[in-house]
Amino acid sequence: MQKNIVILISGRGSNMEAIVAAAIPGARIAGVISNRPDAAGLGFAAERGIPTRVVDHKAYPSREAFDAALAEAIDALAPDLVVLAGFMRVLTDAFVSRYTGRLLNIHPSLLPSFPGLHTHRRALETGVRVHGTTVHFVTPTLDCGPIVVQAVVPVLPGDDEATLAARVLVQEHRIYPQAVRWFVEGRLSFDAEERVRVRDELAGPTGWTVPPVEA
Ligand code: GRF
């Protein structure tokens, strides 16, 4: 039985592209939803015949009203998994609770370091030697929740925000499809402390994968 994946975007949609391009066996991209009508990623999805929908947050009087409309659009696609891929809205607890255990996000830092915005700038300002990206299940606390997989990149002398972001993005495109694949294959489970376990001999017992370090 195929699992329905609904992907939420706000802009470029390169992570969405990576997940679509991965053509994960057993996964069907049921739809792509954006809160912004001008999100570039909508074009990519439409060209591939993936149903697209805009739920414009500006058309709703409150966060609750927007989240209710968003949930209605998502549920119409009968999702097994909802994937936040550069979706730039803070979601209400009610929304997050509705999709407990089937809502993933990617964040451009090694959580719990640098939750929130401008992660690459803050990593450079802090002087960390390694930086990276995290795929996690979404819980009500912003940029928090059980970690599925992380990838690490070096911070190199001479890096600026753009070069560091580009290096991290390469790894985002690698680990997000991988996390979705694990979910679809039923390999993700939680231990008593809600830490994620991955049943995958290649990933190791904790789901860590370490990408090759770039020169
Ligand atoms: C990515 O860096 C992601 O980690 C963050 O927003 C960015 C979205 O990029 N949440 P894209 O829209 O997937 O290209």
pLDDT tens digit sequence for 196-210: 988 865 555 455 555
Q: Of all atoms in ligand 1, which is nearest to the CA of residue 15?
A: 13
* Percent above pLDDT 90 for the chain: 84
Give the model's pLDDT for residue 165.
98
Q: Is it the case that residue 37 has pLDDT exceeding 70?
A: yes
Q: Of all atoms in ligand 1, which is nearest to the CA of residue 105?
A: 10
d(CA 214, CA 144): 28
d(CA 112, CA 171): 18
- 124-141 mean pLDDT: 95
For atom 2 of ligand 1, the residue with the nearest CA is 108
Q: Please, what's the b/e burial string for 100-115 (b: 16 or more CB within 10 A of its CB; e: otherwise)?
A: eebbbbbbbbbbeebe
- What amino acid positions are annotated as catalytic residues? 107
Q: Of all atoms in ligand 1, which is nearest to the CA of residue 17?
A: 13
Cα–ligand 1 centroid distance for 42 (angstroms): 14
Q: Is it the case that residue 18 has pLDDT exceeding 50?
A: yes
Q: Average per-residue pLDDT in the chain?
A: 92
Ligand 1-lining residues (CB < 6 angstroms) = 9, 11-15, 85-86, 106-108, 169, 172
Q: How confident is the model at residue 214 (pLDDT cuts 50, 70, 90)?
A: very low
Intra-chain end-to-end CA distance of the chain, in Å:
42
pLDDT digits (tens, 9 = 90+) for 40-96: 999 999 999 999 999 999 999 999 999 999 999 999 999 999 999 999 999 999 999
Q: Tell me which of 88, 138, 150, 169 to substitute to probe ligand 1's pocket, judged by most ligand atoms within 8 Å of the beta carbon.
A: 169
Q: Is it the case that residue 184 has pLDDT exceeding 60?
A: yes
